[in-house]
Amino acid sequence: MLPRATQIARMLRLPHWLYAPQNGDDRNMNRGMLDGFGVGMVEGVRIFIPVLLTRLGADPISVGLLSSMPAIAGLLLAVPLGLIISKSNNVIPWYAWSRLLLFLSYPIIALIPLFIDAQTAILFMLGVAAIATLPQTSMSLVFNVVMGSIIDTSRRYQLMSLRWSVLGVCNGISVYVAGQYLGSNAPLTAYAIVICGASLFMVFAFLPARQYEVPPERRDTHAPPQSIRKALTQIVFFVRNYRAFRLFIICQAVFQSGLTMSVPLFPLHWIRVLHADDNIIGTVSMIQSVTLLFGYMAGSYIATRFKGRVVILWVCSIALGTYPLITALVGSMAPLVFFAAIWGVATAGIELVLLDMLLDSCPPGQVTAVMPAYQIAMFTVSLLGPLVGTIVAQSSNTTIALMLAAGLHFCGAALFIFFKIGRSHNTDNQLTQ
């Protein structure tokens, strides 16, 4: 006789992998949900780290460094770390431990201002963030590889939409509760309590991630390069000779430059121009996170049922550019409550299809080998974007900087359309003669 819980699950028509996984892919689906739960709860409070820096008196450049330092480390470490990772038979431990070490840095950063003065605390907080860029770089290199190998391609949208839906809901709950608490408590101790409390959920991200299963047929077949010089030569070869991969990197770099440029500008603009308190910041962020759920479900359905990933890419890339533009033009936080919902849906849709298009554009069997090339481009954008944004904000104002970020979003969307990104799958990703 089946356990009562299993009987109830069948009565509710829940998917079998949720209560009776039959193979490695089913078990990975379960682990992906738990992984998303833990990541969502912890990442929900990360938005308050630059807010805390701002309230301590950090200037725009310091806040921008928080976003730029991972990119600096990535540019320096992507190739040597990628070389080390490519020699490993299993990238799952790299993913799990990198995530854990990164999450451990959040409570440390939050506790520092409780023991030293504000200006010294800012320096130490940036120092801890700099150290945390090492596991963050490692995680960036292996994330796409892991997500592309733990599930069959026919179920990739299902896994990612469900995982990111769970992550988005938990992220919204976490940031909303944190915002409500921070709105009525002493700032420094409240930030420490909120960030340390949310960080306890890192165990739900770490334990399932350690158990992901990757069958041998989904592992890369390439021979890893034996030196950094050979690794760099290999990267240049892939970028020059695989047109689909090269075009995807170019279009994605322009589009992501608008996104990374706006990241440090939002808290600066909310606090200094719109005079927002932590309560409304938490509400806007919560709406962004919760609407991700609808975006993931709708994006997965359209992409799989109607093969509409190209339409999703076009619509969502244009829609994302409207959020920094509207933020720059409005005079209060109230309208952003509505536009935050559009941002959430568009973000979910574009995250789903971009991951799929990236994996499709990679040379077959060479995902681990080419990922450093992609990440170097993204790290470069992540480095320059926040710095350019904060420099423009400091020399003029955040309104102009946000409008410039919106323009880069729209340029990236135009390139996606012009180069017909996503219209072809692996059949188009042949070696250029």
User: To the nearest 10°, the Cα dihedral for 38, 150, 29, 176?
Assistant: 30
Q: What is the pLDDT of residue 5?
A: 56
Q: How far apart are CA 51 and CA 105, in angstroms?
A: 16
Reported as a single tens digit per residue, the pLDDT across 363-389 is: 877 787 788 889 889 888 888 888 889
Task: Report the residue count for the chain.
Answer: 433
Alpha helices in 20-155 (DSSP H): 24-43, 48-55, 60-86, 92-111, 118-131, 133-149
Q: What is the pLDDT of residue 221?
A: 65
Q: What is the pLDDT of residue 164?
A: 81
Structural tokens at position 33: 């949900």
For 8-36, what is the mean pLDDT? 77
As to burial, measured by CB atoms within 10 angstroms (0-12 exposed, 13-18 middle, 19+ buried), residue 433 is exposed
Number of Cβ within 10 Å of residue 431's Cβ equals 10
Q: Using 50, 70 and 90 to split pLDDT, how confident is the model at 4?
A: low
Three-class DSSP category at 420: coil
DSSP bridge partners of 242: 431
- Contact indicator for 30, 160 with CB cutoff of 8 Å: no
- Residue 184 in this model has a pLDDT that exceeds 60: no
**At 172, phi and psi to the nearest 5?**
-65, -45
SS3 content of the chain, % helix, strand, coil (to 5): 80, 0, 20
What angle is formed at CA 125 by the lines to CA 167 and CA 282, rounded to 5 degrees?
Answer: 40
Q: What's the mean per-residue pLDDT of the chain?
A: 85
Q: How far apart are CA 391 and CA 397, in angstroms?
A: 9
Q: Which residue has the tokens 């481009």?
A: 377
Q: What is the pLDDT of residue 187?
A: 75
* Amino acid (1-letter code) at residue 414: A
Ranges 10-14, 189-193, 227-231, most confident: 189-193
Q: What is the pLDDT of residue 427?
A: 44
- Residue 219 in this model has a pLDDT that exceeds 80: no
Q: Using 50, 70 and 90 to split pLDDT, how confident is the model at 433?
A: very low
Q: Using 50, 70 and 90 to split pLDDT, how confident is the model at 17?
A: low
Where do the structural domains in the chain lie, given as residue ranges?
18-213+225-428
Q: Using 50, 70 and 90 to split pLDDT, how confident is the model at 402?
A: very high
- Contact indicator for 49, 109 with CB cutoff of 8 Å: yes
Q: What is the pLDDT of residue 8?
A: 58
For 82-102, what is the mean pLDDT? 89
Reported as a single tens digit per residue, the pLDDT across 120-137 is: 999 999 999 999 999 999
Q: Which residue has the higher pLDDT, 354 or 67?
A: 354
- Residue 425 in this model has a pLDDT that exceeds 60: no
User: To the nearest 10°, the Cα dihedral for 250, 401, 310, 284?
Assistant: 140
- Residue 426 in this model has a pLDDT that exceeds 50: no
**Choice among 141-150, 204-213, 276-285, 337-346 with the minimum mean pLDDT:** 276-285
The CATH architecture one would assign to domain 18-213+225-428 is Up-down Bundle (1.20)
For 419-431, what is the mean pLDDT? 65
